[in-house]
């Protein structure tokens, strides 16, 4: 069997799935509230560190700069005196400090995880096929759809179609109708490909990937498990510090 190539210090797919559960829970879901404020801040910084570790220095430093600027601005704006400005800041904060880290993590996972790795990791976790097959299809669906959207955009520009020439309504029609048709076709083809590879079979599948946890995987999995334990204790009325 071949072992997984972990270039640039890539994580095990099971660790990535755990992070994909942890970050939205504490950032977008707001689990724990102010009690987990500093823990949520730490998890918000992880996606930028992953980008830097993978060699995407421009994206990593640019995203980290935007995050730090928006987060630091919150200490200068007073809710009592700012009014509308504070409401606008809250909107920007939600996008840049909560939504953006989750989006970057999702993009990082999609770009650095092979579909075979994902399947092997989910099978190692004993996840049933009714969950594995849809996840596998969706994992490949969005990158394929983005490529199709880019191809449609190039075709539209090549034919000289623009908002000024056909109007905004027809322009949206020329861009979105082919995308909708392609999305249905892509979904059907990916589902058929997944079933052809034997994902719907009741027999145990073999894999060329041998998944192994490294030190980073163990540390991150321990931290994710620990914060969920702390959340459970906090909801049960057991707190270790004041919010």
Alpha-carbon distance of 141 to 139, in angstroms, equals 6
Rg (CA), the chain: 22
Which of 12-16, 53-57, 225-229 shows the lowest per-residue confidence on average (mean pLDDT)? Answer: 53-57
Three-class SS string for 145-211? Answer: HHHHHHHHHHHHHHCCCCHHHHCHHHHHHHHHHHHHHHHHHHHHHHHHHHHHCCCCCCCCCCCCCEC
**Predicted pLDDT of residue 33:** 79
- Tokens in use for 78? 């007073």
* Residues whose CB is less than 8 angstroms from the CB of residue 13 and which lie 6 or more positions away in sequence, other chains included: 113, 117, 118, 120, 121, 122, 211
Looking at residue 3, what DSSP letter applies? B
Nearest alpha carbon to residue 51 among 9, 88, 91: 9
Q: What percent of the chain has pLDDT over 70?
A: 88
Determine the pLDDT at residue 220: 92
Of 4-8, 17-21, 173-177, the one with minimum mean pLDDT is: 4-8
Can you say whether the dihedral through the CA atoms of 172, 149, 132, 107 is positive or negative? Answer: negative
- What are the phi and psi torsion angles at 153 (to 5°)? -65, -40
Q: List phi, psi (to 5°) of 187.
A: -60, -45
Determine the Cα–Cα distance for residues 115 and 140; give it in Å rounded to an integer. Answer: 8
């Amino acid at each position: 069997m071949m072992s997984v190539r972990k270039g640039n210090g890539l994580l095990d797919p099971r660790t990535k799935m755990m992070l994909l559960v942890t970050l939205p829970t504490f950032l977008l879901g707001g689990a724990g509230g102010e009690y987990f404020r500093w823990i949520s801040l730490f998890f918000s910084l992880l996606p930028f560190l992953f980008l830097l570790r993978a060699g995407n220095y421009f994206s990593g430093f640019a995203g980290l700069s935007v995050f730090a600027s928006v987060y630091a601005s919150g200490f200068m704006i007073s809710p009592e005196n700012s009014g509308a400005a504070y409401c606008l800041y809250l909107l920007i904060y939600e996008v840049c400090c909560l939504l953006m880290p989750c989006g970057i993590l999702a993009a990082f996972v999609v770009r650095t995880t092979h579909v075979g790795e994902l399947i092997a990791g989910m099978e190692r976790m004993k996840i049933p096929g009714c969950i594995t097959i849809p996840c596998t299809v969706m994992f490949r669906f969005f990158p394929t759809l983005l490529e199709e959207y880019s191809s449609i955009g190039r075709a539209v520009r090549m034919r000289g179609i623009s908002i000024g020439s056909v109007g905004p309504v027809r322009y949206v029609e020329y861009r979105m109708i082919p995308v909708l048709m392609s999305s249905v076709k892509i979904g059907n083809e990916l589902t058929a490909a997944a079933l052809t590879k034997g994902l719907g079979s009741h027999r145990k599948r073999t894999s060329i990937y041998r998944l192994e946890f490294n030190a980073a995987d163990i540390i991150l999995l321990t931290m994710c498990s620990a914060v969920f334990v702390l959340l459970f204790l906090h909801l049960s009325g057991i707190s270790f510090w004041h919010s």
